[in-house]
């Protein structure tokens, strides 16, 4: 079993600025992260507006404040490493490469959305980018995340008779830590050497419940992973460089050793839980204190100090993200509503099963005894 | 099949709000639910409320607003997001004689607690040979309509009404919500009480003073002669709307609000169908093996010679709930579908 790791990144109180070393990465990569963080923030701000204008319905949870987590974690792994998360999922989708258009149009309930408007804000799926949802039920994605990692490992080791190549990032909230399924998932992952990282986006609250009111040992959350033999890390989620650095190291370790890990990712959500949350459970001072520690601002200063960006290039980034989101909104407005027939598609791959066009098994009389059927999707074949 | 309404109503506890006359006040559905809980908590110390965000946050839908202030944190209890754990815990407490009210923020989340609520609560009395029961109320938001997508839009009555040992209450208006919930809290068996988030802000007249509504006691919401519409919960309101439209077309509908589907008030339904010779069942759960299917089957059995047509049924479409508003509105057992079913059932299509 693995020993406890001390994350090499800084703790929650790390120092930032000029003294901070940049990772040995091309400056274009660093600028890309900055742009992604700006994009998510701009996207979410406009998403809130659209919700107010009633263009978005249902439940909608924005990611403002936590941008460094999705961006840093995604950057730390490869595109072939799967990602699965909860309902606060727009940031992960964008960081993973889903287009702003597809993400916004999904919330507008339009055909241009990633699921043709059938999934909504809480259920973002993007198979080509290895994003496996967006899950609305708290904790639901954790066993699924273990299963996704089980599958990649199985494919690599059993089907391809090679070494495990991939690691799955499974995000969950601090509130989700109290779902029983999370413990079952961790035990299974520990037991079966599953390369999955359970990343607890610990923003301190589940709805109006401050973590210590709902969770035992909240001051030492990693103990929950340790109990199941998971490698553990505590990471400052308000610092994209720390997130990248620590997650990169951890992901590589999990991949190489084919083992699970548990991350207490310390962060803060600036806005309400969802669109209808007056945030009476915390003070504005507390929020302001956290906003002073804003991940985007900090990263910008670091990049300025290292002359990776200039004021002008930052302005350019902001203009381009604003333009991208404006385009996404326009696209979403103009994208048509799904056709009524979409209500009935995607329920089954094939309502009548796999026997389409094939013969009956011998004991049922064989092909001569087959009868025609008409599937609801208009297909026909032989049973 | 016969059962006298007046016998039930003569019980001083059970008073039918529509027959009470007298003074009423207008409150939201959510206030009615809260008043029922608060009144019962005042009269019985064994009653307590637990669930996610019910205390300090005043409830995710503000149903329990102010209850923490009145009853304190020993009786209004915030839980972590651990449905299986806290539902099971409450069942254990109920078996010991306490009377918990468990709020599921949404009944959709009760699926996480399926084992305790379906395998423990309804079977405790039976498996113990009558030694210990489970006087507990599970309540929360149920049904689609708010664009919450596939995972959050369950009409769980479709699943749970199959289970012996549970009582299922689905009120359609504020007055019923209050009277039925008070009855539920005093009931000695597990009661699943389903509220529609879509109804919570709708106001209704509620009688002054204490009243309870018996289970298995349907209410004729609209008297008519040509077709009996049977429903429960939010779709009752769709039926009433449809009945107005159909009246203009010359089809006179009777609308029956079943209020509880377990127990199911068949006598009221049968009496109505014998009069109208036509029945349409409207149920927001999926059609296959649903409470609507059960009711239709019962009507066929008891009114076989009276019916002019087979019992038509209106349900949510047999697909997971879509997010898109356009698709979701089409998915629901909406007014248009009800009108079409009635026209077809009365040969006016
Ligand atoms: C099983 C289940 N119970 C309750 C809910 C309602 N709910 C949605 S989000 C949430 C709070 C979750 O908080 P956390 O896990 O900390 O994630 P965060 O919102 O902070 O990202 C609750 C109670 C749900 N979706 N699923
Ligand atoms: Mg949280």
Please say if the pLDDT value at position A382 is more than 60.
Answer: no
**Structural domains counted in chain B:** 2
| pLDDT tens readout for residues A293-344 | 999 999 999 999 999 999 999 999 999 999 999 999 999 999 999 999 999 9
| pLDDT tens readout for residues A152-176 | 999 999 999 999 999 999 999 999 9
- In a domain? residue B311: yes
Instruction: List the structure tokens of B118.
Output: 């379906």
Instruction: Report the share of chain A in percent with pLDDT over 70.
Output: 87
A interface residues, B as partner, C-beta within 8 Å:
57-59, 106, 109-110, 115, 117-123, 135-140, 175-176, 178-181, 206-209, 213-215, 280-281, 337-338, 340, 342-344, 347
Please tell me whether residues B174 and B226 are part of one structural domain: no
Please tell me whether residues B38 and B139 are part of one structural domain: yes
Please tell me whether residues B200 and B241 are part of one structural domain: no
HSE at residue A243, side-chain half, CA atoms within 13 A, is 26
Please say if the pLDDT value at position A369 is more than 90.
Answer: no
Q: Catalytic: which of B28, B103, B152, B315? A: B152
Closest CA to B56 of A280, A173, A286, A278: A280
Q: Closest ligand 1 atom, CA of A207?
A: 11
- Give residue B80's domain range: 15-207
Backbone angles phi, psi at B296, to 5 degrees: -60, -40
CA distance B342 to B349: 8
Closest CA to A299 of A31, A41, A42: A31
Element (H, E) at B275: helix B266-276
Sort out which chain A residues have CB atoms less than 8 A from B331's CB and list them. Answer: 343
Residue contact A214–B81, C-beta within 8 A: yes
| The pLDDT of residue A322 | 98
CA distance A104 to A112: 9
CATH number of the CATH domain containing B313:
3.40.50.920
| B83 carries an active-site annotation | yes
Ligand 1 close to Cβ of residue B112 (< 6 A): yes
- In a domain? residue B298: yes
Please say if the pLDDT value at position A374 is more than 60.
Answer: no
If DSSP codes are grouped into helix, strand and coil, which group holds residue A102?
Answer: helix
Ligand 1 close to Cβ of residue A206 (< 6 A): yes
Please tell me whether residues B154 and B112 are part of one structural domain: yes
If DSSP codes are grouped into helix, strand and coil, which group holds residue A279?
Answer: coil
Please tell me whether residues B235 and B117 are part of one structural domain: no
Handedness of CA B317, B321, B326, B332 (dihedral sign): positive
Minimal Cα distance from A175: which residue of B? B81
| The pLDDT of residue A378 | 56
Q: Closest ligand 1 atom, CA of A61?
A: 19
Sort out which chain B residues have CB atoms less than 8 A from A341's CB and list them. Answer: none
Task: Judge whether B320 is closer than 8 Å to chain A, CB to CB.
Answer: yes
CA distance B29 to A212: 33
The neighbour count for residue A372, using CB atoms within 10 Å, is 8
Residue ranges in chain B whose pLDDT is less than 70? 1-13, 18-20
Residue contact B148–A136, C-beta within 8 A: yes
Closest CA to B321 of A51, A137, A347, A50: A347
CA distance B38 to B185: 11
| The pLDDT of residue A106 | 98
SS3 content of chain A, % helix, strand, coil (to 5): 45, 10, 45
Please tell me whether residues B76 and B188 are part of one structural domain: yes
Closest CA to A121 of A169, A172, A57, A207: A57
What is the distance in angstroms between the Cα of A340 and the nearest Cα belonging to chain B?
6
Please tell me whether residues B223 and B203 are part of one structural domain: no
If DSSP codes are grouped into helix, strand and coil, which group holds residue A61?
Answer: coil
Please tell me whether residues B23 and B128 are part of one structural domain: yes
| pLDDT tens readout for residues A240-282 | 999 999 999 999 999 999 999 999 999 999 999 999 899 999 9
What is the distance in angstroms between the Cα of B349 and the nearest Cα belonging to chain A?
22
| The pLDDT of residue A353 | 74
| pLDDT tens readout for residues A103-114 | 999 999 999 999
Instruction: List the structure tokens of A300.
Output: 């910008």
| The pLDDT of residue A350 | 81
Burial classification of residue B64, based on how many CB atoms lie within 10 Å of its CB (0-12 exposed, 13-18 middle, 19 or more buried): buried
What is the distance in angstroms between the Cα of B58 and the nearest Cα belonging to chain A?
10
Task: Judge whether B336 is closer than 8 Å to chain A, CB to CB.
Answer: no
Instruction: List the structure tokens of B57.
Output: 């946050």
| The pLDDT of residue A359 | 55
| B312 carries an active-site annotation | no
Closest CA to A228 of A202, A194, A204: A194
Element (H, E) at A225: helix A223-226
Q: Which residues make Cβ contacts (< 8 Å) with residue A6, sequence separation at least 6?
A: none
| pLDDT tens readout for residues A24-83 | 999 999 999 999 999 999 999 999 999 999 999 999 999 999 999 999 999 999 999 999
Only one residue has tokens 């936590």, namely A66
Q: Cα A196–A177–B94 angle (5° rounding)?
A: 135
Q: Where are the domains of chain A?
A: 27-342, 347-383
Ramachandran region, residue B301 (left: φ > 0; alpha: ψ -120 to 50; beta: rest): alpha
Sort out which chain B residues have CB atoms less than 8 A from A115's CB and list them. Answer: 323
Q: A27-342 domain in CATH 3.40.50.970?
A: yes
Under a CB-based contact definition with an 8 Å cutoff, are residues A243 and A73 in contact? yes
- In a domain? residue B3: no
Mean pLDDT for the stretch of residues A84-105: 98
Average pLDDT, chain A: 91
Please say if the pLDDT value at position A383 is more than 80.
Answer: no
Task: Judge whether B326 is closer than 8 Å to chain A, CB to CB.
Answer: yes
| The pLDDT of residue B163 | 97
Closest CA to B194 of B165, B147, B163, B158: B158
Domain-ending residue, one of B181, B207, B233: B207
Task: Judge whether B201 is closer than 8 Å to chain A, CB to CB.
Answer: no
What is the distance in angstroms between the Cα of A267 and the nearest Cα belonging to chain B?
20
Only one residue has tokens 């490869």, namely A78
The ipTM, to two decimals, is: 0.93
Please tell me whether residues B170 and B44 are part of one structural domain: yes
CATH number of the CATH domain containing B75:
3.40.50.970
Please tell me whether residues B145 and B246 are part of one structural domain: no
Ramachandran region, residue A166 (left: φ > 0; alpha: ψ -120 to 50; beta: rest): beta
Please tell me whether residues B232 and B192 are part of one structural domain: no
Minimal Cα distance from B332: which residue of A? A343
Please tell me whether residues B52 and B80 are part of one structural domain: yes
Ligand 1 close to Cβ of residue B281 (< 6 A): no
Q: Closest ligand 1 atom, CA of A211?
A: 16
Ligand 1 close to Cβ of residue A136 (< 6 A): yes
CA distance A177 to A230: 15
Torsion, Cα of B171, B176, B178, B181 (10° steps):
-50
- Cis, bond preceding A364 (omega within 30 deg of 0): no
pTM of the model: 0.93
């Amino acid at each position: 079993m693995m020993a406890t790791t001390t994350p090499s990144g800084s703790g929650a109180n790390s120092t930032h600025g000029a003294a901070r070393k940049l990772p040995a990465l091309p400056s274009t990569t660093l600028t890309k992260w900055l742009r992604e963080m700006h994009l998510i923030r701009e996207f979410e701000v406009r998403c809130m507006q659209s919700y107010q204008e009633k263009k978005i319905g249902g439940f909608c949870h924005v990611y403002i404040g936590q941008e460094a987590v999705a961006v840093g974690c995604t950057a730390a792994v490869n595109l072939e490493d799967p990602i699965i998360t909860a309902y606060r999922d727009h940031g992960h989708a964008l960081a993973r490469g889903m287009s702003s258009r597809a993400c916004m149009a999904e919330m507008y309930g339009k055909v241009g959305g990633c699921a043709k408007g059938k999934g909504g804000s809480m259920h973002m799926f993007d198979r080509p980018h290895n994003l496996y949802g967006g899950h609305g039920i708290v904790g639901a994605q954790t066993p699924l995340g273990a299963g996704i990692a089980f599958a990649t490992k199985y494919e690599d080791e059993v089907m391809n008779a090679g070494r495990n190549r991939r690691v799955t990032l499974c995000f969950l909230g601090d509130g989700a830590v109290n779902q029983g399924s999370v413990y079952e998932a961790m035990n299974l992952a520990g037991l079966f050497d599953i390369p999955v990282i359970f990343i607890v986006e610990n923003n301190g609250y589940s709805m109006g419940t401050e973590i210590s009111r709902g969770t035992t040992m909240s001051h030492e959350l990693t103990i929950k992973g340790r109990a199941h033999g998971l490698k553990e890390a505590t990471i400052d989620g308000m610092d994209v460089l720390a997130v990248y650095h620590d997650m990169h190291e951890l992901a590589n370790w999990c991949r190489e050793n084919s083992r699970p890990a548990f991350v207490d990712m310390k962060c803060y959500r600036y806005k309400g839980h969802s669109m209808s949350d007056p945030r009476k459970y915390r003070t504005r001072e507390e929020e302001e204190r956290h906003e002073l520690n804003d991940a985007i601002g900090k990263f910008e200063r670091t990049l300025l100090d290292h002359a990776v960006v200039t004021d002008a290039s930052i302005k350019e980034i902001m203009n381009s993200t604003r333009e991208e989101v404006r385009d996404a909104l326009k696209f979403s407005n103009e994208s048509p509503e799904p056709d009524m027939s979409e209500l009935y598609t995607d329920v089954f791959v094939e309502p009548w099963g796999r026997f389409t066009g094939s013969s009956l098994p011998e004991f049922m009389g064989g092909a001569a005894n087959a009868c025609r059927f008409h599937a609801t999707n208009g297909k026909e074949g032989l049973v | 099949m016969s059962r006298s309404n007046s016998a039930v109503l003569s019980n001083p506890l059970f008073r039918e709000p529509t027959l009470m006359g007298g003074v009423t006040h207008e409150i939201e559905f959510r206030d009615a639910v809260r008043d029922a809980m608060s009144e019962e908590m005042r009269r019985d110390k064994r009653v307590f409320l637990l669930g996610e965000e019910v205390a300090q946050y005043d409830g995710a839908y503000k149903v329990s607003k102010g209850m923490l202030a009145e009853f304190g944190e020993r009786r209004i209890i915030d839980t972590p997001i651990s449905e299986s754990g806290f539902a099971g815990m409450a069942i254990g407490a109920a078996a010991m004689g306490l009377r918990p009210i468990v709020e599921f923020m949404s009944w959709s989340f009760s699926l996480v607690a399926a084992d305790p609520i379906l395998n423990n609560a309804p079977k405790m009395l039976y498996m113990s040979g009558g030694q210990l029961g489970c006087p507990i109320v599970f309540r929360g938001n149920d049904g689609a309509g708010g664009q919450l997508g596939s995972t959050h839009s369950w009409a769980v009555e479709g699943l749970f009404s199959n289970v012996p040992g549970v009582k299922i209450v689905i009120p359609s208006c504020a007055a019923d919500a209050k009277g039925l919930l008070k009855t539920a809290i005093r009931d000695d068996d597990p009661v699943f009480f389903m509220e529609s988030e879509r109804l919570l802000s709708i106001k209704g007249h509620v009688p002054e003073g204490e009243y309870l509504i018996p289970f298995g006691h349907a209410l004729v919401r609209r008297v008519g002669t040509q077709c009996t519409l049977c429903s429960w919960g939010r779709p009752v309101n769709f039926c009433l709307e449809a009945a107005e439209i159909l009246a203009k077309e010359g089809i006179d509908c009777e609308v029956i609000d079943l209020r509880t589907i377990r127990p199911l008030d068949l006598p009221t339904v049968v009496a109505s169908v014998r009069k109208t010779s036509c029945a349409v069942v409207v149920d927001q759960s999926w059609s296959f093996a649903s409470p609507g299917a059960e009711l239709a089957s019962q009507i066929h059995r008891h009114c076989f010679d009276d019916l002019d047509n087979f019992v038509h049924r209106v349900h949510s479409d047999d697909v997971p709930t879509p997010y898109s508003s356009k698709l979701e509105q089409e998915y629901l057992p909406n007014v248009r579908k009800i009108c079409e079913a009635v026209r077809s059932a009365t040969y006016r299509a």
